[in-house]
Structure 1
Amino acid sequence: MAITPYQTLPLVGTKPIQYLTEIQTNALVQVFQEWYDKSPTKAKGRIRGRYWLTFLVLRFTGARIGEVLGIDDRTDIDFRNGEIKLVTLKRHNSRRRNSTRIIPVPASVISEIATYLAEFPEQRGRVFKLDQGNFRRVFYERAKEADIPKDLAHPHILRHTRAIELLRAGVPVTIVQDLLGHSALTTTAVYLRISGQEAKGILREKGLV
């Protein structure tokens, strides 16, 4: 199936849900990592490392940017079990507005955080305490380097991308709902839809058309 510059799901309300392809996602990860690895000085590495770690957690949790920026690396990261605790910021049910959820993340993400803190122990407790506007600017710059279309160059695209990735890997929709912190299953179920073009490609791959 041909890879399009980006893919969209059917309309929800007035806007389609857009997400990155696997190739685009990998390119963005690579560009972000190279930007951090090539820090010209240790001081720059200390600063860039916080953006790199924030990006990684966004990419592998599908969390909202405000949720990730609210992480306290001293209390919210379980290094032994590879889990991160997030405070769910957006709930339709006001009684659950301040609920928390536990998100398993790859061992490589936990390792990156641990390595950074070992090198910069003075950053403990403030790794993710970035200004949201500054993070968006850095994200946009890296996305541009990775040839991500301008209208997709925002942190929330990683949330849509992670949802699609999980569902296509066969993760039950109810689990994806919990991981993303959706208050209603119908919100998560939107990601189950596929476009007509994509459906045609799948049928061709299976030899059904």
Structure 2
Amino acid sequence: MAEVLSEFADHLRLEKARSAHTVRAYTADLRGLISFAGARGVPLTGIDLALLRAWLAEQTRRGAARTTVARQVSSAKTFFAWAAREGIVDDDPAIRLQAPKAHRVLPAVLAPEQAADAVATAAPDGADTDDPIALRDRLIVELLYSSGIRVGELCGLDLDDVDDDRRVLRVIGKGDKQRTVPYGTPAAAALDDWRRRGRPALATAASGEALLLGARGGRLDQRMARTVVHRATAAQGTEIGPHGLRHSAATHLLEGGADLRVVQELLGHSSLATTQLYTHVSVERLRAVHDQAHPRA
């Protein structure tokens, strides 16, 4: 089974262009499924639809979220479709397996003034500091909010992915899809400060072309970027992570009059339905303001 899962992981990485996070999650799901089947004396080739449903029911009984169960369904369907093509199993038992509908939760977002304060909190001395970590942390929050990119996309940026003349970033998103994303004037200033006074102080032979660096000179780790964002936003009373800044950017774009399809392109959503979630956030805000401000609300 270890060899089969290793081959499946290669399939996900090389043919499906799935992220390292997705590969880890899918293979972990499958190890859990195989363990569940093995405890019942069922080999891989004996797994059927009934056993798959029993496995998912067990996950639900243990308190797994709908989103987690939905991912486990995707893991099983992707694996067995591949295994059937490769002749590892005779038939695909997951072809009729269905995922539960996930609850759509309105994301927490910052108000525009909170987002501005979060940037200031990330680097208290602003552009006047000579501390390379402070300059980097300011840029992390500024770029995530200004461009709405994912934290993985941020950490994957190289120096030549920045087009100063057009003020855009070249971003490699999910599925290795490339898109161009603009950023604002404050982010441009933060970028300039980081590249002139911050990055040279941290750069080593191991830095390569990475735009953002860790304290030891290697490419910035996503966990550190998340820590920076959580620390900066906690001071605003609404602690959120990088994805919350992405939610905030999308919401503020729509509230400012941006077209939904433009926001879809900026965020790199494959489906417009995903982007439409942010319209609900804007409506909720409008309703809250109406309830508070209108004399006959």
**Which TM-score band applies after superposition, normalised by the shorter structure?**
0.7 to 0.9
> Out of 75, 81, 85, which is 2:170 matched to?
85
Q: Is this contact kept in 1: 2:143–2:187, CA < 8 A?
A: yes
1:156 equivalent to 2:156? Answer no
> Out of 17, 26, 32, which is 2:122 matched to?
32
- Measured against aligned partners, the alpha-carbon deviations of 1:139-177 in whole angstroms (never above 9, x if no partner) come to 222223x2333xx33121101001100001111000000
Distance 1:147 1:153, change over 3 A: same
Higher relative contact order structure (alpha carbons within 8 Å, sequence separation ≥ 6): 1
* Residue segments in structure 1 that go unaligned for 5+ positions in a row: 1-11, 90-96
Paired residue for 2:191?
113
Distance 1:32 1:120, change over 3 A: closer
Shift of 1:28: 1.0
- Measured against aligned partners, the alpha-carbon deviations of 1:84-117 in whole angstroms (never above 9, x if no partner) come to 111112xxxxxxx111111111123223212322
The structure 1 segments of at least 4 consecutive aligned residues displaced by more than 4 Å after TM superposition are 35-39, 194-197, 203-209
What percentage of residue pairs aligned between the two structures are identical? Answer: 23
Q: Is this contact kept in 2: 1:72–1:126, CA < 8 A?
A: yes
Distance 1:58 1:200, change over 3 A: closer
In 1: Cα distance, 2:103 partner to 2:134 partner: 37
Q: More helix per residue: 1 or 2?
A: 2
* Residue segments in structure 2 that go unaligned for 5+ positions in a row: 1-101, 213-218
Q: More strand per residue: 1 or 2?
A: 1
1:180 equivalent to 2:283? Answer no
In 2: Cα distance, 1:167 partner to 1:142 partner: 24
Shift of 1:132: 1.4
TM-score (norm 1): 0.75
TM-score (norm 2): 0.55
Report SS of the residue matched to 1:19.
Answer: coil
Cα RMSD, aligned residues only: 2.7
In 1: Cα distance, 2:178 partner to 2:259 partner: 20
Q: Is this contact kept in 2: 1:54–1:69, CA < 8 A?
A: no
Shift of 1:203: 7.5
Shift of 1:48: 2.7
> Which has the larger Rg?
2
In 2: Cα distance, 1:101 partner to 1:208 partner: 46
> Out of 139, 154, 159, which is 1:68 matched to?
154
1:56 equivalent to 2:142? Answer yes
Structure 2 counterpart of 1:126, one-letter code: A
Q: Is this contact kept in 2: 1:62–1:163, CA < 8 A?
A: yes
